[in-house]
Structure 1
Amino acid sequence: MSVEVAKTAGFCFGVRRAVDMAEHEAARHAGIYAYGEIIHNTHEIRRLAAKGVRTAQEISDIPDGASVLVRAHGVPAGCYDALRAKGCKVLDATCPFVAKIHRIVAEESKGGRKIVIFGSRNHPEVVGIQGWCEGSTVFETPEEVQQAADAGALPADTPVSVVAQTTINRKLWEKSIEILKKQCTNCKIFDTICNATDERQAEARLLAGKSDTMIVIGDKKSSNTKRLYEISKSLCHEVLYIEDAAELPQADREQLSQRHIGITAGASTPAWIIKEVSNMMSEETKIENGEDFAAMLEESFKTLNTGDKVTGTVIQITATDVQVDLGVKHAAYIPLGELSDDPAYKVEEQYKPGDEIEAVVVRVNDGEGTITLSKKRVDQLKGWETIETAKEEHTVVEGTIIEENRGGVVATAFGVRVFIPASQTGIPKDQPMAQLLKTKQSFYITEINRQRKRVVGSIRAVQQEARKAAAEKIWETIEVGQEFKGVVKSLTSYGAFVDIGGVDGMIHISELSWGRIKHPSEVVAIGDEVNVYVIGLDKENKKISLGYKRAEDNPWNIFKANYAVDDVATVKILKFMPFGAFAEIIPGVDGLIHISQIADHRIAKPDEVLTIGQEVEAMIIDINDEKKKVSLSIRAAMNGADDDADED
């Protein structure tokens, strides 16, 4: 007798997750209630009952304040509200794939679309899905869909959204979809059949097609096990549908001895039942690939040790951890703090249920039946190799600054902590290093001590190399008149120093403003971005003179563009001199009103008729473009006004 066991036989990760949660929570809470059967397997329900998991078919059967586990098949949305109203602690073991369907139908129904569900009407999963939407219709076969179409129950213009029970037969689903697409012009299809179901059914087809006898193990209430039986029955002459080893008749065991046997099991069938069937068939049975069947099944009961590197499947992401299926009897969790050292890390952007994840075992609790994992330790193991290579090859490493301490800052790169001394942060002594926190920085690795797990880096070294390369490029191409965008680095009493991309240049105070200023801080501040141009070069001594004020902003040019001799302007008296008064025509351009031009009569001093800050009308009587001087006359403006009055 040769025996070939389907690799997909037994618990899927959604069912294993529910069972693990039931065991774990029952141990923590000294017994819990399950609302509905956790899974469709009577034997497993009995085993869990012995561990303190009591099954309640109605919410009224659950005491107020009890801890309640929601079954893997899911429940209607209203059940959560009802349980919370009783003060119950709700522990949700709904399969992640089923929960996804709940979200889909809730959103689609809210958008005014009619929900069509393809599945078994009375199946708990379908009942649960219906409880998350309004106005749903359930079809079990393509024939039912066709009948509804023929009867006009599906109007062509009705917006319809279609989902499937996760364990439904794909061929029947595809036939139904074809009919719906022809009937409904506004139809959205959501393929929600579980991949594990597809794989299980596909493997059953292959196995049944080459076996003399197929043995299908699972509870008679299990929908997915029934599908496996139907598939096997259509391809294999003899199919045995059993719930446990006791249902395998003695006569059949003797007849099977000369045949090729195929074995598959439903997603709700625990490994210990499959193992019992195997042991009763033969003590010497070998799987086709040469592995001992009992040994393979024993894998699901294997224990792990601290430090073991494992690969598992993400089954749920919660506010506190990531739950992982490792294919063992223990429930495995990665606390959020063990995912990454990066404070900006968002697990929901990196993983989703069904994804594979690598981790290291950090704690095994046999008493609670849990395994604590760490992903960041795997990253650290890989990261050390990357960090060491970066040091050897002098390549730049990018990391995120996560801490500040007295000596400097700490970055995380490839899961490894890198200390960057204050002197190597690139931050001036008078500025806080805290400005680097949560930012990404590039640095070189300057020191590694694997034994002490110490890594030292330098941001400053990267900056210096970058500045040196930029400076060389600038000195090769810089010319008088060339414009740059720079950053003000420091201020002195005589000017401002500006970094123009690796090289510093100076703007003399006289080049900062067309007006009079006492200090550069009146115009610019440290850190300001400024547009400058080169007005002088000394390549031998590496000195650059920069200009900041623009010709188009020159007050004299503005004055010349708007005023001419004989024009009358409103001017403001600025100061007095023995020979007259200075007045501002526009900001930056002053004119002299000679004492003889202040009044139409003789005065000894300007302040006899004028005051500082006073605004008066004055005529421009002369413009000296070479010396940039303007002569004004209040008397001429007054006489001009009188002449105008006489003409009127």
Structure 2
Amino acid sequence: MSDNIKEKNEAVNINEEINMDQSEVEENKTEEVIEEVIEESMDDFMEQIDKSMNRIYPEDILKGRVISVNDEEVIVNIGYIMDGIITREEFSEDGILNPRDIVNVGDEINAFVVKVDDGEGNIVLSRKRAERIVVWDDLQKFYDKEEDITVGIDELVKGGALAHFKGVRIFIPASHVSASYTEDLTEYIGVEMKIRLIEFDKDSKKVVGSRKVVEKEELDVLKNNLWSVIKIGEKRNGVVRRLEKYGAFVDIGGTDGLLHISEMSFKRILHPSEVMSEGDKIEVIVQDFDKEKGRISLKLAVQYENPWDDIYSRFNVGDIVEGNVVRLKPFGAFIDIGEGIEGLLHISEISEERVNKVSDVLKINQKVEVAILDIKQDEKRISLSIKEALNNDSSYDFDDYEEDDKGIEPTLGDLFKDKFDKLKF
């Protein structure tokens, strides 16, 4: 081989070695760059993860979402690398309650961080401790915004009742349990109701609520609705709220109407309590109303049978009937002759002798025999007389008083003895 060829081959070999060295260098540099990029990416990734994770500390109060619940514990996602655990005892103020009866998977709850690590890598949480703290902030908002809350009456105390809202005791004065007067508060024990906070002091832990305020606002709405739709002649369901001597006040949906005593029964009654009681549910008809004065007149939708409709088929002028004295007046007495009918026994018809004072002769509940003098169906009046009953009574027989073997003749006292006995002067 010539010297020129050798030189060319050596040059080629040298170039190849140089190219190989350069490739190795470039390859190494590429690997280093890739490693640097990966390392930087991992750092960025971990930094992003770290930033996305909330740092938690003992006594923090966090929002979490229930991801699992069983009879003894609740697992909560609190946005951390690990989920938190709430035991049954730490879930509610009443540790006996089963968590399944309180929350469901997906519910959002407040959680108090008890321990970040219990030694086994678990985050220990408490819902009841969180509620104790958060509830005061919530109550402050409800009080400031005058928003209603729902509570249940737990017990009665002097002057009112007690309710609890997420562990906080709320006092409800007796005068604020209802818009209407309630003498016996025991009926409210265990009852859930909406109340408004009327006093709130976070520092002294004093909370006072009122159902009456809420009810009054609800009644105002009902009243406005009622006055816009009420019509004469319409039927309405009502509740007897108050009895007075002259009638009953009936709540017909936001406001009270008056059912006069004269509309309660065809039979004369002295007090509404004879036919109804407070709290009774009745159906009434609107007779009349005055929106400006806020007055509504009512009558019973289901009327009692009118005993005067067939008065002539039961009583006739001249009949002698037994009655019961129900009322005494200076001018006479009212006699109940049965079947819902009362008649007037005028003072002049009590006795043949002059009677100056009715009460000197007759007494309430005394039974007497009277004759019917007159019947006026349209006016619902019957006139009665004891005198006529005595004069027309043929129940005695004069033959009973014929002269006996001794020739003794009967006296007027003997003849009318039984009749005078019927009058209890």
Q: TM-score, normalised by structure 1?
A: 0.38
> SS of the residue aligned with 1:435?
helix
CA distance in 2, matches of 1:528, 1:456: 32
> SS of the residue aligned with 1:445?
strand
CA shift for structure 1 position 414: 6.8
CA distance in 2, matches of 1:440, 1:332: 31
- Aligned residue runs from structure 1 range 30-49, under 5 A: none
> Cα distance 1:324–1:613, how it changes in 2: closer, same or farther (>3 A)?
farther
CA distance in 1, matches of 2:147, 2:202: 19
Match of 2:323 in 1: 574
CA distance in 1, matches of 2:258, 2:314: 37
CA distance in 1, matches of 2:89, 2:189: 20
- Aligned residue runs from structure 1 range 431-450, under 5 A: 431-450=183-202
Query: Could you list the per-position Cα deviations for residues 240-268 of structure 1 after superposition, in whole angstroms to 9, with x for gaps in the alignment?
Result: xxxxxxxxxxxxxxxxxx9xxxxxxxxxx
Contact 1:407–1:422 (Cα < 8 Å) also in 2: yes
1:627 has 2:379 as partner = yes
Letter in 1 for 2:265: S
1:291 has 2:46 as partner = yes
Letter in 1 for 2:45: G
CA distance in 2, matches of 1:389, 1:315: 31
CA shift for structure 1 position 431: 2.1
> Cα distance 1:428–1:376, how it changes in 2: closer, same or farther (>3 A)?
farther
1:317 has 2:66 as partner = no
CA shift for structure 1 position 332: 3.9
> SS of the residue aligned with 2:222?
helix
Contact 1:494–1:509 (Cα < 8 Å) also in 2: yes
Letter in 2 for 1:335: R
After superposition, the CA RMSD in angstroms is 5.6
CA distance in 2, matches of 1:529, 1:624: 35
> SS of the residue aligned with 2:219?
helix
> SS of the residue aligned with 1:553?
coil
Partner residue of 1:397 out of 149, 162, 176: 149
CA distance in 2, matches of 1:446, 1:430: 20
Match of 2:100 in 1: 348
- Aligned residue runs from structure 1 range 226-241, under 5 A: none
Structure 1: stretches of 5+ with no match in the other structure: 1-257, 259-283, 577-581, 593-610, 636-648
Match of 2:402 in 1: none
Letter in 2 for 1:443: I
CA shift for structure 1 position 391: 4.0
Match of 1:525 in 2: 277
- Aligned residue runs from structure 1 range 365-380, under 5 A: 373-379=125-131
Letter in 2 for 1:334: T
Letter in 2 for 1:588: G
- Aligned residue runs from structure 1 range 60-139, under 5 A: none
Match of 2:174 in 1: 422
Match of 2:306 in 1: 554
Match of 2:297 in 1: 545
Match of 2:266 in 1: 514
> Cα distance 1:449–1:415, how it changes in 2: closer, same or farther (>3 A)?
same
> Cα distance 1:331–1:454, how it changes in 2: closer, same or farther (>3 A)?
same
1:361 has 2:120 as partner = no
- Aligned residue runs from structure 1 range 197-346, under 5 A: 290-291=45-46, 305-309=58-62, 311=64, 317-318=70-71, 321-324=72-75, 332-335=85-88, 338-339=91-92
CA distance in 2, matches of 1:538, 1:356: 53
Letter in 1 for 2:237: K
How many pairs were matched up? 318
CA distance in 1, matches of 2:107, 2:224: 49
CA distance in 1, matches of 2:95, 2:162: 11
1:463 has 2:215 as partner = yes
Match of 1:494 in 2: 246
CA shift for structure 1 position 435: 3.0
CA shift for structure 1 position 523: 1.3
Letter in 1 for 2:269: I
Q: Which has the higher contact order (CA 8 A, sep 6+)?
A: 1
> Cα distance 1:472–1:628, how it changes in 2: closer, same or farther (>3 A)?
same
> Cα distance 1:546–1:462, how it changes in 2: closer, same or farther (>3 A)?
same
> SS of the residue aligned with 1:556?
coil
CA distance in 2, matches of 1:528, 1:392: 39
Letter in 2 for 1:514: F
CA distance in 2, matches of 1:370, 1:403: 40
CA shift for structure 1 position 544: 3.5
Q: TM-score, normalised by structure 2?
A: 0.53
CA shift for structure 1 position 418: 4.2
Contact 1:445–1:455 (Cα < 8 Å) also in 2: yes
Contact 1:444–1:459 (Cα < 8 Å) also in 2: yes
Letter in 2 for 1:461: V
CA shift for structure 1 position 291: 3.1
Query: Could you list the per-position Cα deviations for residues 187-228 of structure 1 after superposition, in whole angstroms to 9, with x for gaps in the alignment?
Result: xxxxxxxxxxxxxxxxxxxxxxxxxxxxxxxxxxxxxxxxxx
CA distance in 2, matches of 1:427, 1:337: 38
CA distance in 1, matches of 2:270, 2:315: 33
Structure 2: stretches of 5+ with no match in the other structure: 1-31, 33-38, 326-334, 345-365, 393-425
CA distance in 2, matches of 1:484, 1:313: 49
CA distance in 2, matches of 1:397, 1:332: 29
Letter in 1 for 2:112: V
CA distance in 1, matches of 2:274, 2:111: 60
CA distance in 1, matches of 2:107, 2:100: 14
Match of 2:3 in 1: none
Query: Could you list the per-position Cα deviations for residues 392-428 of structure 1 after superposition, in whole angstroms to 9, with x for gaps in the alignment?
Result: 4444333333444335434445776544333332266
Match of 1:213 in 2: none
Contact 1:342–1:402 (Cα < 8 Å) also in 2: no
CA distance in 2, matches of 1:448, 1:425: 17
1:505 has 2:257 as partner = yes
Same amino acid, percent of matched pairs: 28
CA distance in 2, matches of 1:335, 1:550: 58
> Cα distance 1:287–1:400, how it changes in 2: closer, same or farther (>3 A)?
farther
Query: Could you list the per-position Cα deviations for residues 324-379 of structure 1 after superposition, in whole angstroms to 9, with x for gaps in the alignment?
Result: 47799999443357436899x87434445x66664433755959999764324545
Contact 2:148–2:194 (Cα < 8 Å) also in 1: yes
Contact 1:340–1:375 (Cα < 8 Å) also in 2: no
Letter in 2 for 1:497: F
> SS of the residue aligned with 1:462?
helix
Letter in 1 for 2:323: L
CA distance in 1, matches of 2:95, 2:177: 19
Larger Rg: 2
> Cα distance 1:502–1:336, how it changes in 2: closer, same or farther (>3 A)?
farther
> Cα distance 1:362–1:554, how it changes in 2: closer, same or farther (>3 A)?
farther
Larger helix proportion of the pair: 1
Contact 2:112–2:127 (Cα < 8 Å) also in 1: no
Letter in 1 for 2:240: V
> SS of the residue aligned with 2:175?
helix
Contact 2:69–2:100 (Cα < 8 Å) also in 1: no
CA shift for structure 1 position 442: 1.8
> SS of the residue aligned with 1:290?
helix
